[in-house]
Amino acid sequence: MNFVTTADGTQIFYKDWGPKNAQPIVFHHGWPLCSDDWDAQMLFFVQRGFRVVAHDRRGHGRSAQVSEGHDMDHYAADAFAVAEHLNLRNAVHIGHSTGGGEVARYVAKHGQPAGRVAKAVLVAAVPPIMLKTASNPEGLPMEVFDGFRKGVADNRAQFFHDVPAGPFYGFNRPGVTPLPGVIDNWWRQGMMGSAKAHYDGIKAFSETDQTEDLKAITLPTLVMHGDDDQVVPIHDAALKAIKLLKHGTLKVYPGLSHGMLTVNAAQLNADLLAFIQG
C-alpha cells in the first residue's frame, strides 16, 4: 500500500491511479469515511484519462490512528503532504462534506498561487460554519453535535448503521428504497477508523469558521448541494458559501441527499466532468 509520512510523523494512506502525466483530480472524503467513498468518481474519471488521487484522512481508513491533529489545519497539511509527495500540478480538488472544509482550507493555505490547484469543488460541504453562534444564528445548535459525540462514544457500531440507514442518503424519506450494500459500505468504512479521530473530528467539521478560507479562494469553484440534505442543510452551507467565493458557481440538486455522490453518481459525475473540462 502507498503511504506518505507527514511533518509530524503520521502515516497517510493514498491511492494514485491513472497516467502520471494526466491532469490530477484529488478527492477529499467526508466524516467518518475514507477514500473508498470515492469509488464511483475515481473509476469514472480514471476511465476518461485523468489521474485520480485520494487519501484517507488521519485516523480514518488505513491511515495511522494517531491521537492528535484532528482539525482542519492538520487535515489540509496532510493533503498537502500527499500532493507534494506526488508533485501534483494543475489539480482539481473535490471535497465532500468535511472533505469540502478540508479543500477550502487546503486551497486557501497551500494551493495558491503556486500552480498546484486549477479548480475546486465543494460537494455538500460544511463551510462556512455549521454551528449556531451569535454571528451565525441560522446554524445548528450544539446539541446536534453533542448527539453525534454521544453516538460515537456510546455505541459507535450502531450509530454508524443508523446514520446511513437514515438521513445520510435520505433512506428515511417516504418512497425511497434503502440500499443495504450502500449502508453496509458506509458502516465498513466508518469502523475502519479510530473512534478518537471520529469523536474529535466532530468539533473540526462543526465549529471551524471557514469564512476567511472561502474569501481567500480565487480559483474557479463549483458548489454542489442537494436541497434535501439532512446532514449539512443547504441554507447554512452552500447558500452562504457561494456569497463568499470570488469565482463560485452554485448547482442545487432538488430533492437530493447528503450522500448524492453515491446514490446519484451518474448525474453528479457528468456535472463534475463538465466543470473540469469547461
Which residues have a catalytic role annotated? 97, 229, 258
| Cα–Cα dist 24/8, whole Å | 26
**Alpha-carbon distance values, 38 to 43, 177, 208 (Å):** 8, 22, 24
Instruction: Please enumerate, as own/partner, the contacts of 275-278 that have beta carbons within 8 Å and a separation of 24 or more.
Output: 275/119, 275/121, 275/220, 275/222, 275/249, 276/23, 276/25, 276/50, 276/92, 276/119
Tell me the three cell numbers of residue 47.
476511465
Q: At what angle do helices 72-86 and 98-106 cross, to 10 degrees?
A: 70
The torsion angle over the Cα atoms of residues 137, 142, 144 and 145, rounded to 10 degrees, is: 130
Phi, psi (degrees; rounded to nearest 5) at 28: -120, 115
Total length of the chain: 278
